[in-house]
Amino acid sequence: MRTMRRSRGLQRLGALLCLMAVVALVVPLAALGIGAAGTTMTIDQTTGGLETRFTYETATAPGETVLGIDFAFPEGTDTAKATADAVTLVGLQRSNVTVETQAKGTSVKVIFSPSVEPSSTLRVVLHDVLTTYAGGKQTVSGTYTTQTGTHKLPPMTFTQGAPTVSQRIGFWLNRQPLVKTWNSVPILNAFFNPQLIAISIPILFWGWLLSIALIGVAYPVAIPIGLATAFLKMSKLAPVRWIASAYINVIRGTPLFLQIYIAFFGLPLVGIRLPDFPLGVIVLAVNSGAYLAEIFRAGIQSINKGQFEAASSLGMTYAQAMAYVIIPQTVRRVLPTMTSEFILLFKDTALLSAVGIFELMMNAKNSAANTGNVTAYTVAAVYYLMITIPLINWVGKLEQRLALSEGASGSPGTKTRKSGALEGMARMAAPVTADAGTPDDTDGR
């Protein structure tokens, strides 16, 4: 009796073990079939109302041969233009599968030939499925057919946002006959595609802000660097002058592009790791500092020696003479050149796109690469010009004012290229405003 019970207990245990073994075997098998865990459905558009590419990746179970899949998309989806292709892989080795696509209403049926073999990875790509305008979390269900019959496809979800304002404008433009005519001209379509202008403006705006932020921090940092270097270069001690010269010559003698690569790819290799933004700012500031140093030095040296002598005769020290007499006059003279340097540096922020900083140029490049259309570059050009054109005009005005104020003197001693080039203008303006010369400018002849 006892032994019997015991043996029954053993039997039960055996049955349980058997059952467990079967479950253990079946579960992984079930997990391998179409639509089981590990199956993914990805989309290439994050907002609704666009022709979307769906990539469905799954695996067939051992013993499961798949003849076709019928995808049922949510209500409102338009599959009229949909096409499909597929590939099956065992490991990394692909085999060709031709796909017959039958699109009807909200469903796309794909039939594989040859059928998908057991235990292989299956990737089905559905192109140009027009999703619903409203977006949101949506479900794709359907059926699939194996050698044993038709089964329900485990549903998958995908999420799309509602179209942005610029995309809505794009949709509206799509429907306008005038826009269609406009885009039928290749050059207008390539450079001034209205839909892409609408979409690019907000995307590029953030890149534009980053470009402005880069220059907005870098340039104020570059000014003290430049000023300090200018004084070092005018030092009485030769080694100090050499250091300043070396810095100026190396920076001015090499492309900014190369300096950016050294900073971004070279420095980290020797353990100097900085986040992208500060590193970008440093490269720009160090680069501009060298140019500003030469601008400042030329500006200071352009002030007539007599000014310095006069200041000394009043009992001023070197520092006082610099601070109260020389520098104030220098500022006015170098302001146009400094502004030009600012414009140059602002445009050079575009080079940072090569090292993965999402400034204006990078955003434009991305848009152009994604759309195969260069309209984004046109929009980027407008963004750059919005900063540079007002500044260019301002430089013009500054130069004019400088020419007028120095008109009476027409200093031949100016060494900066800009003020040198201005002398002709200054002389021409001189007869009209002969008395416009500032009283502190004793440089007359």
Partner 1 sequence: MSKHSKWIALALAVAMLGTAGLIAGCSSSTASTPGTTGTTPAKATVKTVTAGTLVAGSDTAFPPFESMNGNTAEGFDVDVVAAVAKEMGLKSEFKSYKFDTLIPTLIAGGKFDIIASGMTINADRKKQIDFSSPYIDSNQSISVTNASTVKAAADLAGKKIGVQSGTTGQQWAKENIPTAVLVPFDDTLSAFAALQAGKVDAVVNDLPVSAAVVKDATRGLKIVQEIPTGEQYGFGVSKANPDLLKAVDGALAKIKSSGEYDTIYKKWFGVAPSSK
Kindly list the residues in this chain that would bind partner 1 in the complex (CB under 8 A). Answer: 40, 42-44, 46, 53, 55, 83, 85, 87-89, 91-96, 121, 123, 125, 127, 264-265, 267-269, 273, 276, 354-356, 362, 365-366, 368-370, 372, 374, 424
* 182 Cβ contact list (under 8 Å, min separation 6): 188, 189, 192, 194
State the Cα–Cα distance between residues 212 and 78, nearest whole angstrom: 43
Whether 158 contacts 180, CB under 8 Å = no
User: What are 158's strand-pairing partners?
Assistant: 138
Nearest approach in angstroms of CB 306 to partner 1 is: 27
Tokens of 10: 């053993």
Give me the residue label for tokens 């070396």.
246
In the bound state with partner 1, the residue whose beta carbon lies nearer, of 106 and 121, is 121
State the Cα–Cα distance between residues 335 and 418, nearest whole angstrom: 10
Whether 68 contacts 110, CB under 8 Å = yes
Nearest approach in angstroms of CB 325 to partner 1 is: 33
In the bound state with partner 1, the residue whose beta carbon lies nearer, of 186 and 315, is 186
Among candidate residues 249, 26, 244, 68, the one with its CA nearest the CA of residue 153? 68
In the bound state with partner 1, the residue whose beta carbon lies nearer, of 121 and 301, is 121
In the bound state with partner 1, the residue whose beta carbon lies nearer, of 57 and 441, is 57
In the bound state with partner 1, the residue whose beta carbon lies nearer, of 235 and 370, is 370
In the bound state with partner 1, the residue whose beta carbon lies nearer, of 119 and 438, is 119
In the bound state with partner 1, the residue whose beta carbon lies nearer, of 11 and 95, is 95
Give me the residue label for tokens 């302001």.
335
In the bound state with partner 1, the residue whose beta carbon lies nearer, of 43 and 327, is 43
In the bound state with partner 1, the residue whose beta carbon lies nearer, of 319 and 369, is 369
Nearest approach in angstroms of CB 383 to partner 1 is: 19
Nearest approach in angstroms of CB 292 to partner 1 is: 29
Nearest approach in angstroms of CB 372 to partner 1 is: 6
> What separation in angstroms does the CA of 341 have from each of 316, 346, 351?
33, 8, 16
The CB-side HSE value for 147 (13 A sphere, CA atoms) comes to: 11
SS3 150: strand
Give me the residue label for tokens 């963004």.
383
Phi first, then psi: what are they for 93, rounded to 5°?
-90, 120
Which helix (H) or strand (E) segment is 142 a member of? strand 136-146
Nearest approach in angstroms of CB 158 to partner 1 is: 10
Nearest approach in angstroms of CB 265 to partner 1 is: 5
> What separation in angstroms does the CA of 169 have from each of 136, 158, 290, 344, 383?
20, 24, 46, 35, 20
Nearest approach in angstroms of CB 369 to partner 1 is: 4
Nearest approach in angstroms of CB 126 to partner 1 is: 10
Sign of CA dihedral 175, 178, 180, 183: negative
Nearest approach in angstroms of CB 362 to partner 1 is: 8
C-alpha torsion angle, residues 345, 346, 347, 353 (rounded to 10): 100
Give me the residue label for tokens 């496809």.
153
In the bound state with partner 1, the residue whose beta carbon lies nearer, of 22 and 185, is 185
Whether 245 contacts 233, CB under 8 Å = yes
Whether 68 contacts 56, CB under 8 Å = no
